[in-house]
Amino acid sequence: MSRTLAIRGLIAAAALATPLLAVGPAQSAPVPVAPSGTVTSVSGVNERAYPSTDAKVTGQPLKYRAPIGLRCKVRAQNIGGNDTWYLLRARPTWVAAKYVGTVGSVPFCRSVNHGALKDTPATRAAMG
Residue 51 lies inside a defined structural domain of this protein:
yes
The CATH number of the domain where 86 resides is what?
2.30.30
Length of the chain: 128
Instruction: Tell me the C-alpha distance between 17 and 66, whole Å.
Output: 52
Q: Is residue 119 part of a domain?
A: yes
Instruction: Report the pLDDT value the prediction gives residue 18, as an integer from 0 to 100.
Output: 47
- How many domains is the chain partitioned into structurally? 1
- Residues 14 and 87: their CA atoms lie apart, in Å, by 58
Asked whether residue 15 is assigned to any structural domain, the reply reads no
Look up the domain containing 115 and give its range: 36-127
Sign of the C-alpha dihedral, residues 112, 113, 117, 119?
A: positive
pLDDT in tens, the chain (128 residues): 565 555 555 455 555 554 444 455 556 666 567 899 999 999 999 999 999 999 999 989 999 999 999 999 999 999 999 999 999 999 999 999 999 999 989 999 986 555 555 566 666 565 55
Determine, yes or no, domain membership for 30: no
pLDDT at residue 7, as a whole number = 57
The model carries a pTM of: 0.65
4, part of any domain: no
Tell me, yes or no, whether 84 lies in a domain: yes
Tell me if 17 is assigned to some domain. no
